[in-house]
């Protein structure tokens, strides 16, 4: 069958959406890629490379490569700062799009920047007044957020939902003092710190952190929060991150506080054994964090050797936050009439086909359907693309 | 030849943990432990008597009933419930501790707690100091008068006992009227300034309930019912428990 006029909408421009769009374009399918923020790449583009003297297969570089593929592919039309408003299903899907209501969470400057040099535009003006105060600081080619976004209609033959996840909001675990104490950061924050500084620095003073603690399972596997799932990515990202830090600074003292290590992924068993010689693993989840005068953090936990509680000081505390359902899942579930599972992720037909939904023509890719790392998101997106191709009768 | 499969003989005997699970809603989640140890990191009694909440629950789960129930640690737990607050699985360890206390013969329970519960049973004040109704009344009136005179801005302040129809029924740690009477007026002042209509009760004014800490259910209920009945008899709408 001819692929002429076949068109697919992909919702979400993170690694799953990028991969799905790219895979579809390989079959000559036209893709409309909708992204609510002003930048492609999602969370994955914000991650730093975790290579030591060898590649750790974290996948961060593949995101950059995929983003570049997509922006250079004429069959993929990208709509930044755009939301889906409604959709009608009458054979084809008729979709109403609108400018997204996206606002940056914390823009201290008037301009925000994409994480990839392949982002176009790379700089977006979010606060005109601030920019007018200091026009020299506005980079060339910067685009006003107000002028971005697409309002209008599209007709498409299928939809892939790839709207992703949100990192756990660590403020909900109040005793850790996230956002109260500057040197308590999340794994996500640490990715950005390393990407921006090429090394681990303390947010409070910009100095190198020597003594670092990671706390695992923050927000995951938690009945109190209603988040019973394992996020799967936090053990690998924390240990890879710790190895990266250790590789750059052999004197760094790193402690991993955990309940059990989810030993998943290629070569992970071997990698974990190496980690055991490089860091201290403490099988205890700490609870109380107290700020010290020098902005260090004193943490109380039980020492397993003698069963006594001790207070230990750290320069930096990293909370390994998990993968939570995307903030728009409820809205999108209503718009597309596709159900969520009990955890709040989108529900596939079954475990063996987690990319198809009960709604014909609507498919799922990536963390929208549950926790995944970069590689698994890409594989899932590839599977979604092939289900779409089957559905459309394209070959 | 493969050896014969090992057969586990007989029924598993009912353990202390099983019994506690039977009486708690959802079994107190006692079988959901991930052994993460957050309970022990946050517990003020960790390390006392070579015990901590995680160890306590694990030992109970292993059926070490003797070791668990007889540990003096059960009396060192303050019942603050911080372990539940920080537990990712909302496990009710304090209730497990409570039931362990209840397995002790009453006379072998710690003297301080036992004595305080017995004192509270001596009269209807509920006071663990054994303070009588008359003594309480005398101290409250005496202290009130002193403050009304010394601090003219509080000359109209009241501290009524058995005021019929008051909105709030207030109780009082009974150590204060006996040893620290000046600890009482700050709360009176707040209630005065906000214009609250409140009263103490001549019966059931003692707020502490050591019979609860003693894990003596009948006495705990007895002390509680006296206070509740007094509040009802006075027609109070809200019981303000200060302990």
DSSP A263-323: --STTHHHHHHHHHHHSEEE-----EEEE-TTS-EEEEEEETTTTEEEEEEESEEEEEE-E
User: A307 and B34: CB-CB below 8 Å?
Assistant: no
Tell me the ipTM for this assembly.
Answer: 0.84
Domain boundaries, chain A: 7-164+326-392, 169-321
Which residue on chain B is closest to A258 by alpha carbon? B36
Q: Which residue has the tokens 């080619």?
A: A141
Q: Are B158 and B210 within one domain?
A: yes
Residues (pLDDT < 70) of chain A are 1-4, 106-108, 395
* C-beta separation of A95 from A156 below 8 A: yes
Residues B221 and B149 in one domain: yes
Clarify whether residues B75 and B138 are in a common domain.
no
Preferred mutation among B27, B28, B40 to probe A, highest tally of A CBs within 10 A = B40
Domain of residue B173: give its range: 112-240
**Which residue from A102, A97, A98, A101 is spatially nearest to A42, judged by alpha carbons?**
A102
- B22 & B43 share domain: yes
Closest Cβ–Cβ partner in A223, A260, A307 for B88: A223
In this complex, do A224 and B40 lie within 8 Å of one another by their Cβ atoms?
no
From B67, B85, B138, B186, select the one nearest A224 (Cα to Cα): B85
Q: Does A310 touch chain B (CB under 8 A)?
A: no
pLDDT greater than 70 at residue B36: yes
> Does A305 touch chain B if contact means CB atoms closer than 8 Å?
no
Q: Cβ of A285 and B54 within 8 Å?
A: no
- B79 in the same domain as B55: yes
Q: Is residue B9 part of a domain?
A: no
CA distance A300 to chain B (A): 6
Mutate to test the interface with A, among B26, B42, B48, B51 (most CBs of A within 10 A): B42
Task: Report how far apart, in Å, the C-alpha atoms of B12 and of each of A312, B8, B15 are.
Answer: 43, 9, 9
Instruction: Find the mean pLDDT for residues B151-157.
Output: 95
Chain A hits for B83, CB-CB cut-off 8 Å, are: none
Last residue of a domain, one of B104, B134, B158: B104
Chain A residue nearest residue B87, CA to CA = A224
Q: Are residues B181 and B84 in the same domain?
A: no
The answer to whether A300 faces chain B, any CB pair under 8 Å, is yes
CA distance A325 to chain B (A): 19
Given a contact cutoff of 8 angstroms between Cβ atoms, the answer to whether A333 and A357 are in contact is no
- For residue range B72-109, what is the model confidence (pLDDT) as tens digits? 999 999 999 999 999 999 999 999 999 999 999 999 99
Range list of H helices, A94-210: 128-133, 187-197
Is B62 inside any structural domain? Answer: yes
Angle at A110 between CA A106 and CA A114, to 5 degrees: 70
pLDDT computed for residue A48 by the predictor: 83
Q: Are residues B134 and B235 in the same domain?
A: yes
Q: Is A311 on the interface with B (CB under 8 A)?
A: no
Provide the pLDDT for residue A148: 94
* C-alpha–C-alpha distance, residues A56 and B189, integer Å: 66
Q: CA neighbours within 13 Å on the CB side: how many for A251?
A: 3
- Spatial contact of A35 and A80, defined as CB atoms under 8 Å apart: yes
Please list every residue in chain B whose beta carbon sits closer than 8 Å to the beta carbon of residue A290: none
Length of chain A: 395
Predicted confidence at residue A106, as pLDDT, reads 66
Tokens of B130: 């054994």
- B47 with B154, same domain: the answer is no
Residue B1 falls inside a structural domain: no
Structure confidence at residue A89 (pLDDT) = 83
A7-164+326-392 shares its CATH topology with A169-321 = yes
CB contact under 8 A, B37 and A285: yes
- Chain B residue with CA closest to A218: the answer is B88
Of A224, A283, A304, the CB nearest to B88: A224
Interchain proximity A285–B35, CB inside 8 Å: no
Q: How far apart are CA A394 and CA A121, in angstroms?
A: 33
How far, in Å, CA of B97 to CA of B57, rounded?
9
Q: What residue in A sits closest to B35 (Cα-Cα)?
A: A259
CB-CB: which of B37, B42, B89 is closest to A283?
A: B37
Asked whether residue B11 is assigned to any structural domain, the reply reads: no
* Residue B98 and residue B144 share a domain: no
**Backbone CA torsion sign across A303, A309, A310, A315:** positive
User: Which residues of A are less than 8 Å from B49 in CB distance?
Assistant: none
Nearest CA in chain A to B43: A309
Chain B contact for A230 (CB, 8 A cutoff): no
pLDDT for B2: 59
Scanning every residue of chain B, which has its alpha carbon at the shortest distance from the alpha carbon of A173?
B86
Residue B12 has what pLDDT?
67
Q: Which of B41, B46, B73 should we substitute to test contact with A (largest number of A Cβ atoms within 10 Å)? A: B41
Please answer yes or no on whether A284 and B37 come within 8 Å at the CB atom. Answer: yes
Q: Are strands A123-125 and A111-113 parallel, antiparallel or unpaired?
A: antiparallel
Contact A300 B41 (CB under 8 A): yes
Same domain, B128 and B72: no
- The CA distance from B55 to the nearest CA of chain A, in Å, is 9
Domain final residue pick, B88, B104, B120: B104
The predicted structure's pLDDT at residue A285:
96
Evaluate whether the domain defined by A7-164+326-392 bears CATH number 3.40.50.300.
no
Of A223, A225, A306, the CB nearest to B32: A223
Torsion of CA A187, A191, A192, A195, to 10 degrees: 160
Q: Do the Cβ atoms of A363 and A160 come closer than 8 Å?
A: yes
Q: Which A residues, 144 through 183, put their C-beta within 8 Å of a C-beta on chain B?
A: 175
Any domain includes B75: yes
For residue A300, which of B43, B139, B221 has the smallest C-alpha distance?
A: B43
Domain count, chain B: 2
Q: Give which of A221, A288, A302, A320 to mutate to test B binding, by max B Cβ within 10 Å.
A: A302
Is A288 in contact with B52 (Cβ distance < 8 A)? no
Retrieve residue B106's tokens. Answer: 């009453």
Of the residues B104, B120, B143, the one at which a domain ends: B104
A contacts of B86 (beta carbons < 8 Å): 175, 287
Q: What pLDDT does residue A96 have?
A: 96
Alpha carbon of B104: minimum distance to chain A alpha carbons (Å)? 25
Judgement on whether residues B100 and B217 belong to the same structural domain of the protein: no
Residue B6 included in any domain: no
Q: Which residue among B46, B50, B87 sits closest to A302, beta carbon to beta carbon?
A: B46
**Are A217 and B46 inside 8 Å of each other by CB?**
no
| Residue B138 distance to chain A (closest CA, Å) | 45
- Which chain B residue lies closest to A310 (C-alpha atoms)? B41
Residue B8 lies in a domain: no
Reported as half-sphere exposure (CB side, CA atoms, 13 A), residue A106 has a value of 1
Q: Are residues B194 and B212 in the same domain?
A: yes
| A234 Cβ contact partners less than 8 Å away, ≥ 6 residues apart | A187, A216, A217, A218, A220, A262, A320, A321, A322
Which residues fall within 8 angstroms of residue A175, CB to CB, at 6 or more apart? A287, A288, A289, B42, B86
- Inter-chain CB proximity A284 and B41 less than 8 Å: yes
Mean pLDDT of chain B: 93
Tell me what the mean pLDDT of segment B199-211 comes to.
94
Cα–Cα distance measured from residue A185 to residue A179, given in angstroms and rounded to the nearest whole number: 8
CATH architecture of A169-321: 3-Layer(bba) Sandwich (3.50)
Residues of A in contact with B90 (CB under 8 A): 223-224
Tell me, yes or no, whether B181 lies in a domain.
yes
For residue A70, the SS3 value is helix
- Are B41 and A223 in contact (CB < 8 Å)? no
């Amino acid at each position: 069958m001819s692929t002429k006029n076949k068109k697919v909408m992909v919702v979400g421009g993170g690694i799953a959406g990028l991969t799905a769009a790219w895979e579809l374009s390989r079959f000559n399918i036209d893709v409309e890629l909708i992204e609510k923020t002003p930048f492609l790449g999602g969370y994955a583009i914000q991650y730093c490379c975790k290579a030591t003297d060898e590649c750790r297969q974290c996948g961060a570089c593949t995101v950059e490569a995929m983003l570049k593929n997509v922006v250079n592919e004429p069959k993929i039309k990208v709509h930044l700062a755009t939301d889906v408003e409604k959709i009608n299903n009458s054979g084809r899907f008729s979709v109403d799009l609108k400018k997204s209501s996206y606002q940056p969470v914390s823009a201290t400057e008037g301009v925000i920047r994409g994480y990839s040099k392949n982002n176009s535009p790379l700089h977006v003006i979010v606060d005109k007044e601030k920019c007018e105060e200091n026009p020299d600081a506005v980079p060339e080619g910067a685009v006003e957020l107000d002028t971005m976004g697409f309002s209008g209609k599209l007709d498409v033959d299928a939809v892939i939902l790839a709207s992703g996840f949100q990192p756990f909001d660590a403020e909900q675990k109040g005793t850790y003092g996230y956002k109260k104490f500057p040197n308590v950061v999340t794994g996500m924050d640490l990715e950005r710190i390393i990407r921006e500084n090429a090394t681990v620095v303390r947010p409070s003073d910009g100095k190198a952190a020597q003594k670092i603690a990671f706390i695992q399972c923050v927000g995951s596997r938690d009945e109190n929060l209603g988040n019973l799932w394992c996020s799967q990515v936090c053990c690998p990202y924390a240990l890879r991150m710790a190895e990266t830090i250790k590789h750059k600074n052999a004197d760094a003292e790193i402690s991993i506080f955990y309940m059990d290590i989810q030993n998943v992924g290629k070569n992970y068993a071997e990698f974990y054994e190496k980690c055991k010689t490089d860091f201290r693993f403490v099988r205890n989840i700490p609870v109380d964090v107290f700020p010290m005068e020098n902005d260090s953090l004193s943490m109380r936990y039980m020492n397993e050797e003698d069963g006594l509680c001790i207070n230990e000081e750290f320069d930096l505390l990293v909370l390994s936050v998990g993968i939570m359902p995307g903030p728009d899942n409820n809205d999108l579930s209503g718009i597309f009439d596709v159900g969520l599972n009990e955890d709040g992720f989108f529900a596939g037909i079954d475990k063996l086909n987690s990319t198809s939904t009960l709604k014909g023509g609507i498919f799922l890719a990536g963390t929208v359907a549950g926790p995944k790392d970069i590689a698994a998101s890409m594989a899932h997106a590839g599977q979604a693309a092939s289900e779409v191709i089957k559905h459309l009768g394209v070959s | 030849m493969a050896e014969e499969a090992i057969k586990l003989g007989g029924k598993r005997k009912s353990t202390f943990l099983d019994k506690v699970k039977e009486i708690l809603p959802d079994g107190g989640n006692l079988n959901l432990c991930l052994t993460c140890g957050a309970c022990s990191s946050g517990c003020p009694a960790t390390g006392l008597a070579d015990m901590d909440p995680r160890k306590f629950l694990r030992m109970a789960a292993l059926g070490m009933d003797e070791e668990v129930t007889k540990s003096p640690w059960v009396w060192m737990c303050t019942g603050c419930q911080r372990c539940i607050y920080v537990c990712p699985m909302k496990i009710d360890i304090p209730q497990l501790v409570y039931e362990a206390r209840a397995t002790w013969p009453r006379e072998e329970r710690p003297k301080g707690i036992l004595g305080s519960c017995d004192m509270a049973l001596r009269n209807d004040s509920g006071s663990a100091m054994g303070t009588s109704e008359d003594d309480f009344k005398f101290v409250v009136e005496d202290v009130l008068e002193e403050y009304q005179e010394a601090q003219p801005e509080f000359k109209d302040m009241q501290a009524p006992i058995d005021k019929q129809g008051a909105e709030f029924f207030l109780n009082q740690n009974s150590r204060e009227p006996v040893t620290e009477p000046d600890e009482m007026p700050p709360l009176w002042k707040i209630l005065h300034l906000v214009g609250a209509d409140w009263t103490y009760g001549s019966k059931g004014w003692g707020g502490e309930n050591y019979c609860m800490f003693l894990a003596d259910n009948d006495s705990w209920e007895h002390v509680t019912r006296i206070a509740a009945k007094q509040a009802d008899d006075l027609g109070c709408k809200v019981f303000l428990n200060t302990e």
